[in-house]
Every structure is written in structure tokens, then in C-alpha cells.
Structure 1
Amino acid sequence: MYNKEKTTSTLLHALYDNVTCPDGWVPFLQQIAVHFDSPSATLRITDRENPVVHQSFSTGLDQGLDYDHEAVIFDPFRASLANGPLGKVHTSSELISDRAFEHCDHYQLFFRPNGNFYAMGAQFERDESSAMHIGIHRPRSRGMFTQQEKAQLEDLSGHFRRVVQLTRLTNQVQVALTQAHNAFNALSFGVWMLDSELRCQWHNRAAEDALTAHCFGLRQRNGQLTIDENTAGAALMQASRKLKKGESQCESVQLSASGASLILFGSRMAALPSSWKVGHSATIIVFLLDPHMAVLLDHARLKNLYSLTAAEARLVDLLVRGLDVTEASAYLHVTTHTTRSQLKSIMQKTEVTRQPDLMRKLLLSGGLVNYE
């Protein structure tokens, strides 16, 4: 006897466990084919108007005319799937008589070589130009698909749609993460994403190079960012504690007399309930700044966004490299009074009141960095 709840539960586990992974449709199709006592099943994305297949997954179809490029032209079920209600399951025996199907090109060129005769399927997702549908097939000897089997497949149609939407969203997130990683990798200075215990969650190429060369004593031990020099190492731990307690949102650790330093920012992530058992997440962003390392900001964008003058843009370049006001004044051959006046103007234009906030705005605004 058909147990709707048990059947749906079993197939949903297979659907969500498999299809949210890359190339997971084929393992699911194998399971759903077995469930419906069928040797083959397909999932395809096709053009809504023309006999064109954009993407196809299948199991059990190893012989006969290639559907994706040839047999799709002869498919007598395309119009019914495309014009019927979304999620409505159709069976081949409802759409065409056995005798008529037996003499049609689609059966002779595609179904017969694969050992199949009956089919059922549904179109469950559509956009402006394409649609996604699932099909299940079996030999004539196993009998036509029943109303009960139609009901089982229709029970799953809404879940097919949700899985596709979930997969699409996951892909969008992955693309966004890849773009963000590429942007950080294009930076000439090191960037680390750390948890509150300084365990590294991610770092860019410049950070990897700094760790490999042990620049300024920077190392990664047991996944944790450390500094060989005792004073700097202690300062790094103290900075992380202050960020963790919320006593500060920005800390710096001097690495050398030449002005090289680490700038640590506390990320503003919402706290998760303590009952949630989740892995360590990145809560600290660290930048390695070295006055001897060129960090080129896009002056044209600075001018467009904040109306900075050429002199103010030159000062910002030096501040981002880690120089303080006195060092920047000496480098630019101007008085500290002039530099302080320019800094005050820059902060007004960028709408910040503290120098660490200015650094945060410049460093975290990826669009200001000229990657070319």
C-alpha cells in the first residue's frame, strides 16, 4: 500500500543529500529510477520554443539516437510538458496511444533501442526562455505508469523546484566568494581572515608569501598566526583580546623600526546563539603594511568618491603603507602642520573622525585599489 509520508521522506533525503552537491543529479536519478521500477531517468534543461537541449543528466540511457542533439526533434511529449501546468505529471499513455507511439519516430529511434516504452514526467521550473523537466522510463513488459505513481512524482515537483533554487543561490554565493578572493589576491599587501584565537580561516597570496619567507618573524603554527619576536607576539595576542572583548574595533602591532605593522580589524558579525554548534568563523581581519611595499590606490577614484586633491591622495598612499604623520611629512618634504591639515581635510571628506576608521575605509574599499 502506498505510504505517501514514507515515500516522500525517502526520496527527499536522496534529493537533498545528492543534488546540493556538484553533479548530484545522476545519483538521485539512479535512486528515483529504482524506486519507480524503471531502468532509466533523465533531467534536462531545454528551450521552451525550439527543440534545443541546454543541459542534460541521465541514467540508464546507453543506446539509441542521441536525445540532446537528434531525438529531441521527434519527441511527441515536448509540447504537452511545455504547455501544461508547472509540476503537473504527464504519462505517455495519456498523451498518445500505445499503437500510435509504437509507430512514431521517437519510439523507433530513441525509446526502442534503449529498451523502453512507457514514460512519465513533469516540467517543474521555467524562466523566460528555458525550462527544466524530469522524465522516467521503463519497458512495456513492466506496465504503464499508474495514477499512484503519478501522485508520487507530483509530490516531489515542488521540492525539485526548491533544490534548483537552492543550487542557484549556492552557485551565486560561490561566484561572489571567488570574486572576493580574487580581489584580495590581487592586493600587494598581506590579508588574513582569523578567528578570535588567531586561527587562520583564509589568507591571500601576499600573506602566503610573507609566511613562507617569515617576513618580520610572521609564522603559522598549528593554524595560528604568530610572531617570533616576543614583544610583537605579545602585542598581537593583546590586540586580539581587545578585539574579542569589544574594547576596540581596530588595533595595530608594530613589526619593525621601519614602520611595518599589522592592522587588525574586528569584523561586525552578528553573534550566533550559544546553542548553535558551529565551526570557528573569521572575526578578525588583518592587514600587513610595510612602508617599503608599494600600495597603489586609484587616485582617480579617490577624487571622484571623496574629492581628494592630488596632495591628499599622495598622503593617503603613505598612510596606507603604514607611515605616521611625522614620517609622511619627511617623505613629502612638508611640515607636520601641513600634513595634519591635509589629514583633517581627508577625514572630513571621507566622513570619519578617527584615523583607524580612515584606514578601515580605505583598506576595505576594494574598489579603491588599482589592480592593473
Structure 2
Amino acid sequence: MTPSFAVASQALITLIYDAATQHGAWSQFLAAFAQQLQSHAGLIWANDFSNRSVDVQLPGSGLAATYGFEAHALASFAGYYGARNVWLEDATLHREGAVVTGSMLFPDHCLKKTEYWTDWLRPQEIFYTAAAIVELRAERSTNVTVVRREQAGAYDGGELALIRTLMPHLQTAFSLQRKLRRLEMLSQSSTQVLELLPFGVLLLDATSQLLYANERALAMTAATRLLQLREGAPLYCPREADNGALRRLLHEAAQTGTAAAGGPGGVLKLNGLTGEQLRLRVTPLPSWHSPFGAASAIAVFLSDSSDLITSLAATLRNFYGMTVAEARLTEALVNGYSLQEYADRQRISIHTARTQIKSATAKAGAQRQVDLVRIVLTGPAVLQRTPLPA
């Protein structure tokens, strides 16, 4: 490997992994890739051999990129000429992980006799092509292609060796990109659900800095001024005593979420000098499978101090198959009661309460009491709760 080859390949590999993690960065890689291979245009696109259709948009994947092509040329390629691409006639030559040239796929001396060259390649000044067939799934290939003029000559062995060097990195980056997009879409869907909840929701990272606040939370904190949301700073209570209690709850929740020693969070009631009230329930988010993104470590649920989340019991029974006693206990925990407080109020033993909560937790698919509360607060039971019959 010559020094120039090593430098070129390393620079392109860096751009590949940057593109996998940054929106819109595949165009930057494609431009550098095409320029390195003395090509005046390039494209990341897909071809479906089952119906001879091509896709230059790659919706939902984040992979689409073009370099050097006019929009009308891409539109005609996708709408008509892709199906007449003679380089796609033999599907057996398009294997996943292969690096191919137009000369390998169709004889150069026959190319100028085709409609594809006359009406599409020639207007784009294209004669030679080289492609990395990065993926092949159910007769659909995803490719990184570069093209150049006839006078530039065919792609040589050194240029094809560079593409082969990049191939495993392209495959890894494509796979990573798809996984990140799926996680991003899941996270967006989850936060959209939070806007429907009947209380304020804050998502914090492990240092208690704000990642997300739904509209209800923004309105409640602005109205009461008992809790301050400051960009780039931890969640903060203006009153020193309240802030100390909040810091302890947040620290314990962050430790629990990262599987370190800690506590399950808890409830903090804030009271203003002129009657304002705000009730905070702090709960950890498990870092190994948080539905709100990997950075989310803590959830804080806000409500008016007198506004209990009621009428949950019937819905909990319907959704999770809880008994009446289990559903009532779960509703109490969601509203900030401790297990001992609930047992005292219901005049049952703490042993009975523990048995009930263990069963309720298992029925909700949770392993810990804190997870049960989080699942209920962010799940369909709260979104679709119905009043108990009189």
C-alpha cells in the first residue's frame, strides 16, 4: 500500500463513519469519493431487480446522496431510464460486497448502440462507471456509484482496490445508519406520546440537565416559578431547601438508572409564598433500553399538588390484568404514596402490600417498583384511563 493510497483511504473511511452519525453527511463523503476517483458525478441509490425499478430518494434511511447530477437527470433516471440501464441486465453479477465496473457488466463496444447511452448517459457525459454493491436484500441492492467521461479512461486496478478497501466500512456504516434511524424514530414517537399525557414531563440526562420538556411542563414551570429549566444547567429549585431535596432525588434516580447503587427516586412537593403548588415525581429511566434515547436517564413528572392521577384502577385491570387490590395500590404509588403509607391507609400489613406490588409489577412486565411506576405513567393506562363506576 503506497502512502498516498493509505492517506486517501483513511480520509474516506473517516468521512464514512462521520456520515453514519451525522445528518446529511453522506453527500460530503460522496463528493470526496468521486473526486478521489477522478469522477464528475456520483450517487448512493437502490435498485430492485424484481421489478427493474430504481430509488434515488431512499426514504427513511438517511443514506440518499448525490454529487454532480442535475435534479432533472435523476428524475428521468428514477422514472424511466433506470429500467433501461444495461449495466443492470444480469442480476447474478450484482453480489453483495462486490465492486463492479460498467465494463464488467456490459461490453463497452456495445454501449453506444443502446437507448440508455444515447438518451441518458451521453447527455450526462457518462461512459465509465464503478460501483460498490454495499447491500443486497431480497433482490434490492443499495449501491455507491461513481461515473466519468470516456476520455478519462476506464477505472484501473488501483482505483478498484481503493473501493474494495472501503467496502467493509461502507457496509458497517450503512448498517449503523439504519439502526440509528430506527432508534431516532422510536425516540421521536415516544416523545410525541409524552405530549398527550395529562401532566408535565421532563427528561434529564445523568447530570440532571434538561433534554426534553413537554408543553404542559413548560407551562406549569412558567406559571409557578417553583422550578427553573435552564439550558445547559441542571434542573433547579430557587428555594435552597427544595433544591437540596431535588438534587438528592435526581442523584439517586441517575444512579439507579445506570444500575449503580442508588434509590428509586421519589416525590417532592413544592409550595410558593402566594399559594403556588407543584408536585414532582422523580423516576429513573433504565439506560440499557430507554425508549426516549440513550442519553435520557431521569424522568420528572409534574402536576398540581392537589391534582392526583385518579380513575386509573379500572384501566390498570383492563390493560394488565391486575386485581382490584393491585390496581388500587399501583394507583396510590403513581400518586406518590409509599408502600408503608398505603398499607397504613388501607389498614393492611406491609407484607400484604409487598405481595400485591410484587404481583402487579410482574403483570406490567416490570422487575422493580420504580419501573412499574414509570411504565404506568408513560403507558396506555394513563393515556386511556376511564372513570371507576360509581
Scaled by the length of structure 2, what TM-score is found?
0.76
Structure 2 residue 118 is the aligned partner of structure 1 residue 100: no
Which residue matches 1:321? 335
Any gaps of 5 or more consecutive residues in structure 1?
271-279, 330-334
Deviation at 1:34, TM superposition (A): 1.0
Deviation at 1:132, TM superposition (A): 0.6
Deviation at 1:178, TM superposition (A): 1.4
Structure 2 residue 89 is the aligned partner of structure 1 residue 84: no
Structure 1 residues 81 and 43: alpha-carbon distance in aligned structure 2, compared to 1, 3 A threshold:
farther
How far apart, in 1, do the equivalents of 2:252 and 2:51 lie?
63
Sequence identity (%): 18
Which stretch has the larger CA shift, 186-195 or 166-175?
Answer: 186-195
Asked if the contact 1:291/1:322 (under 8 Å) is kept, the reply is no
Which residue matches 1:145? 155
Which residue matches 2:365? none
Structure 2 residue 32 is the aligned partner of structure 1 residue 10: no
Asked if the contact 1:82/1:123 (under 8 Å) is kept, the reply is no
Choose the corresponding residue for 1:218, options 213, 216, 227.
227
Asked if the contact 1:187/1:369 (under 8 Å) is kept, the reply is no
| Structure 1 letter corresponding to 2:47 | T
Which residue matches 2:126? 116
| Structure 2 letter corresponding to 1:5 | A
Any gaps of 5 or more consecutive residues in structure 2?
58-64, 256-260, 289-293, 363-367, 385-390
Which residue matches 1:61? 69
Which residue matches 1:299? 314
Structure 2 residue 143 is the aligned partner of structure 1 residue 133: yes
Asked if the contact 2:340/2:350 (under 8 Å) is kept, the reply is no
How far apart, in 1, do the equivalents of 2:124 and 2:195 lie?
50
How far apart, in 2, do the equivalents of 1:122 and 1:4 lie?
18
Asked if the contact 2:210/2:234 (under 8 Å) is kept, the reply is yes
| Structure 2 letter corresponding to 1:42 | L
Superposed, 1:260-299 pairs within 5 Å as: 261-266=279-284, 269=287, 283-289=297-303, 290-294=305-309, 297=312, 299=314
Structure 1 residues 234 and 259: alpha-carbon distance in aligned structure 2, compared to 1, 3 A threshold:
same
Which residue matches 1:33? 34
Which residue matches 2:193? 183
Structure 1 residues 234 and 136: alpha-carbon distance in aligned structure 2, compared to 1, 3 A threshold:
closer
Structure 2 residue 89 is the aligned partner of structure 1 residue 75: no
Structure 1 residues 320 and 106: alpha-carbon distance in aligned structure 2, compared to 1, 3 A threshold:
same
Which residue matches 1:273? none
Deviation at 1:49, TM superposition (A): 1.7
Secondary structure of the residue that 2:191 maps to in structure 1?
A: helix
How far apart, in 1, do the equivalents of 2:66 and 2:374 lie?
48
Which stretch has the larger CA shift, 72-81 or 90-99?
Answer: 90-99
Structure 1 residues 68 and 82: alpha-carbon distance in aligned structure 2, compared to 1, 3 A threshold:
farther
Q: Deviations over 1:59-88 (max 9, x none)?
A: 222375821111112211113465333222
Secondary structure of the residue that 1:248 maps to in structure 2?
A: coil
- Give the RMSD, CA atoms, in angstroms: 3.7
Structure 2 residue 373 is the aligned partner of structure 1 residue 362: yes
How far apart, in 1, do the equivalents of 2:329 and 2:306 lie?
13
Deviation at 1:298, TM superposition (A): 6.6
Asked if the contact 1:312/1:346 (under 8 Å) is kept, the reply is yes
| Structure 1 letter corresponding to 2:40 | P
Structure 1 residues 112 and 198: alpha-carbon distance in aligned structure 2, compared to 1, 3 A threshold:
closer
Asked if the contact 2:313/2:331 (under 8 Å) is kept, the reply is no
Q: How many residues align?
A: 353
| Structure 1 letter corresponding to 2:142 | M
Q: Deviations over 1:266-297 (max 9, x none)?
A: 55558xxxxxxxxx965443333433254553
Deviation at 1:209, TM superposition (A): 1.9
How far apart, in 2, do the equivalents of 1:250 and 1:203 lie?
19
Which residue matches 1:199? 209
Asked if the contact 2:317/2:323 (under 8 Å) is kept, the reply is yes
Scaled by the length of structure 1, what TM-score is found?
0.79
| Structure 1 letter corresponding to 2:18 | D
Structure 2 residue 259 is the aligned partner of structure 1 residue 250: no
Asked if the contact 1:87/1:124 (under 8 Å) is kept, the reply is yes
Asked if the contact 2:312/2:381 (under 8 Å) is kept, the reply is yes
Which stretch has the larger CA shift, 185-194 or 173-182?
Answer: 185-194
Asked if the contact 2:330/2:357 (under 8 Å) is kept, the reply is no
Asked if the contact 2:34/2:41 (under 8 Å) is kept, the reply is yes
Q: Deviations over 1:112-157 (max 9, x none)?
A: 0011211122322011242111222111111122122222222222
How far apart, in 1, do the equivalents of 2:177 and 2:183 lie?
10
Which of these two proteins has the greater Rg computed from alpha carbons? 1
How far apart, in 1, do the equivalents of 2:264 and 2:339 lie?
21
How far apart, in 2, do the equivalents of 1:147 and 1:107 lie?
25
How far apart, in 2, do the equivalents of 1:119 and 1:134 lie?
11
Which residue matches 1:308? 323
Which residue matches 1:50? 51
| Structure 2 letter corresponding to 1:364 | I
Secondary structure of the residue that 1:68 maps to in structure 2?
A: helix
Asked if the contact 1:81/1:122 (under 8 Å) is kept, the reply is no
